[in-house]
Amino acid sequence: MRILTSLRAGERRLTRRMASWDSVWARGLLPPVEDAAEHTKLWWAAAVLMAAGGGRRGRRAATAGIAGMAVGQVLANVVAKQLVGRRRPPKEWFPHDEVEERPDSSSFPSGHTAAAVAFTAAVAPIWPWAGAACAVPTVLVAIERVHDGAHYPSDVAAGAAIGLAAAALVLATPRLLVRRVG
């Protein structure tokens, strides 16, 4: 029990520290990343670019990314958020305006992070260069979710784990179906 109390206190300190991070870089880059990631627009745009310019491999990567993103969102937003009702970090911890725009749903896990990680992790094995390019906004989305007051770091970590599981499931499904049918 003492370990959990210590972990919770450490997470609260980290959240408050990230909330007070007031650099020009954070103010200039994180809000546009959040806007692009809202409603998965960023990942749909990446999929369109891959499919349009990447030939067969680009289309395969885009399809896997979209499928991974969909599975990640369902697992995070439809399943996990219903199982764990966690309040979002207190608004008083956040000195900026973005804290007013956060959702009313459970804080745990981060659906944005689950979608971003699932998309990127599903794309990377098929087209490593595109996966590496997608990793940059994925990390920024994860940072932004804590910085703007929507999540605690453990919400983001859980979203990332769900995203990885979703990508693994999507990538394994064709082989599993072939075995099952064959």
Given this model, what pLDDT does residue 182 score?
56
Instruction: Report percent pLDDT > 90 for the chain.
Output: 53
Asked whether the beta carbons of 94 and 15 are under 8 A apart, the reply is: no
pLDDT digits (tens, 9 = 90+) for 29-52: 887 888 888 888 999 999 999 999
Read off the pTM.
Answer: 0.87
For the chain, what are the domain ranges?
37-181
Q: Has residue 98 got a pLDDT over 60?
A: no
Once rounded to an integer, what is the mean pLDDT over residues 44-63? 96
Own/partner pairs, 136-143, CB within 8 angstroms, 24+ separation: 137/33, 137/36, 137/37, 137/42, 138/113, 140/29, 140/30, 140/33, 141/33, 141/34, 141/37, 141/42, 141/112, 141/113, 141/116, 142/110, 142/113, 142/116, 142/117, 143/18, 143/30
